Structure 1
Amino acid sequence: MTIEKTDAHHHLWRLDSSHYPMLRAPGIERFLGDTGRLKHDFEAAEFLPLACAQNVTRSVYVESHYDPPIAETAHVQAFAEVHGFPHAIVGRVDLASGELGAALDTHMRSPLFRGVRVMVNWDADAMFRAVADPDLLSRPAWRAGYAELGERGLSAEVMAFPAQLAALADLAADRPGTPLVVGHAGLPLHRTGAEHALWRAGMTALAALPHVVVKLSGLAMVDHHWTVDGIRPIVRELIDLFTPARAMFASNFPVDGLHKSYDAIWDAFDAITVDDPAADRAELFRDTARRFYRIA
């Protein structure tokens, strides 16, 4: 019997919807791959058979560049009421906006809303860059918005590159009231010795903070041709650093589907942890995500 799972990070979209500008824009080559290959439906008809085959019984929706973002959570809430999934929603806001409070009020009308995902990943090469400001983590207005999430009982999921993880750890230490998810395993992108040292130092600092968890996901974005043995050291290192109680597996579908199948991702996590205690595997595959996102 396939172990019961919570998919802690997936997206949903419709190609014919006007709410997904990235699906209407010309495809470009980014670090995650060719965005043109994401131009297909990914909703109940596409996701549920994949999830059923892997015994995924709960899932977490993460913002999918919906436009306008303030309407995304209500849209996904309505979708969940029809289809029975997802079971938690992570939306998108501008943490530095003067309208942050009003935006959060709107998102929080939806019972499944749990927090926001913010991308701060900056690189000198525009191909890898999600934001224009390399110092976003240090901006006072942005940090105030980050703190407000915690004050409202919401979490932050932050995507940052290895060179930014030390600054993210400093922020998390300074704002312990905001539960933090380190997105996509800290994006170990280039795999050089120098980058790995930055990645490990940053993840070690983050793991030392009890309110920080990590998502083991997105590995196909940073290594389009990964193998089980190739990702095993990253997965094992993060499990050791954070412990299974603060680490969760996720598919990042359909984005990671540019390079790997849904089954291949989950089967790799299974193979890497097959000899671990059953209680640890239950945390990684199911319970950490359920606990963090308050999923019944």
Structure 2
Amino acid sequence: MQVVDPHIHLWNLKTHHYPWLANPQTSFVGDARELKHDYLLSDLLRDAEGIDVLKLVHVDANHDPADPVEETRWLQGIADGEGRGMPNGIVAGADLSSDNAPQVLEAHAAFANTRGIRQILNVHDNPLYDYVGRHYMREPQWRKHFALLKRFDVSFDLQLYPSQMEEAAQLAREHADTQFIVNHAGMFVDRNAPQGYRAWREGMRALAACPNVAVKVSGFAMFDHEWTVESLRPYVLETIDTFGCERAMFASNFPVDGLFGTYAALWNAYAQIVGDVSASEKDALFMRNAERIYRI
């Protein structure tokens, strides 16, 4: 099976600082203590044995917020050296609310493989699920700096919860010339009541109504630690049906989702779920959309 994986993370704990791995905790995502070890390109490719990985997109691994550009510098060095082009795309981390955001964006954009920016936006009333504790999209300075993404020709990886999707759809409409990519199928978190499903479904439809928004079909293991093909199937198919085969792309979220299954098992599950789609649609979902949207 050939894939382009548009959502992986690498880290080197010997040379770089990742606050979340300095004192790892157990959360709904899993036990981060099991991730407190170097995870390099060679480790990813070893985990991918049996899957022909053509290209990779690295998404910021919550690197030291005091020096987010160092992560991009390190990744570009890998791509220019032993990675032989990989990671082919880099989605860098930046705090758009900070005073120095314009300088950080400019520095990221100077690297050849930079394609996008991610700032995690997840806010939730339940502290278990709350990542950032503030509504960045409502802050004037954050929105002012968001407008700079177009100048630097970078996309925005949109990581949020369903309750934030209507607000994000408005942002996407206001910035119709910026590419948005929804992370992890919208992180459907409130699964224990019909209104939670409704919020996810309607929020995803609001985002999909914006032609500049695409979605990664990924991250399900964070909410389904004992996943099976059948437990993933309804969420995978609903996501693809909402965005269409032309704006959806499968991704691994490794090594985080590796806490709950192998790389090959995950990709083979995706392949089984969409086994009846056309060959051209499979090519789009597994390779071509990621290549086109991340320009790699």
What is the TM-score normalised by the length of structure 1? 0.95
Instruction: Give the deviation of 1:51 after TM superposition.
Output: 3.2
Question: Structure 1: how far apart are the matches of 2:41 and 2:166?
Answer: 38
Identity of aligned residues (%): 39
Counterpart for residue 74 of structure 2 = 75
Question: Structure 2: how far apart are the matches of 1:220 and 1:273?
Answer: 18
Counterpart amino acid of 1:212? V
Instruction: Give the deviation of 1:22 after TM superposition.
Output: 2.4
Contact persistence 1:147–1:177 (CA under 8 A)? no
Counterpart amino acid of 1:102? Q
Counterpart amino acid of 2:179? P
Secondary structure class of the residue paired with 1:119: coil
Secondary structure class of the residue paired with 1:53: coil
Tell me, yes or no, if structure 1 residue 32 matches structure 2 residue 33.
no
Secondary structure class of the residue paired with 1:177: coil
Q: Extract structure 1 runs of 4+ deviating beyond 3 A.
A: none
Secondary structure class of the residue paired with 1:128: coil
Contact persistence 2:49–2:264 (CA under 8 A)? no
Question: Structure 2: how far apart are the matches of 1:125 and 1:259?
Answer: 24
Tell me, yes or no, if structure 1 residue 17 matches structure 2 residue 15.
yes
Correspondences of 1:117-156 after superposition (within 5 Å): 117-133=118-134, 135-156=135-156
Counterpart for residue 181 of structure 1 = 181
Instruction: Give the deviation of 1:52 after TM superposition.
Output: 4.8
Counterpart amino acid of 1:47? L
Secondary structure class of the residue paired with 1:116: strand
Instruction: Give the deviation of 1:227 after TM superposition.
Output: 1.3
Stretches of structure 1 that go unaligned for 5 or more consecutive residues are none
Correspondences of 1:1-296 after superposition (within 5 Å): 2=1, 4-25=2-23, 27-67=24-64, 68-82=67-81, 83-84=83-84, 85-133=86-134, 135-191=135-191, 192-295=193-296
Deviation string 1:116-166 (CA, Å, 9 cap, x unpaired) is 111111112222111121x22122211222221123211100111111111
Counterpart amino acid of 1:40? H
What is the TM-score normalised by the length of structure 2? 0.95
Secondary structure class of the residue paired with 1:149: coil
Counterpart amino acid of 1:45? S
Counterpart amino acid of 2:153? G
Deviation string 1:140-196 (CA, Å, 9 cap, x unpaired) is 211222221123211100111111111111111122122101111000113131111
Q: CA RMSD in A?
A: 1.3
Counterpart amino acid of 2:155? S
Contact persistence 2:48–2:264 (CA under 8 A)? no
- Kindly tell me the number of residue pairs found equivalent between the two proteins: 291
**Farther off after superposition, 51-60 or 198-207:** 51-60
Question: Structure 1: how far apart are the matches of 2:252 and 2:151?
Answer: 29
Contact persistence 1:93–1:116 (CA under 8 A)? yes
Question: Structure 2: how far apart are the matches of 1:18 and 1:42?
Answer: 12
Instruction: Give the deviation of 1:19 after TM superposition.
Output: 2.0
Secondary structure class of the residue paired with 1:252: coil
Deviation string 1:218-258 (CA, Å, 9 cap, x unpaired) is 11012111211111111111111111111111000001111
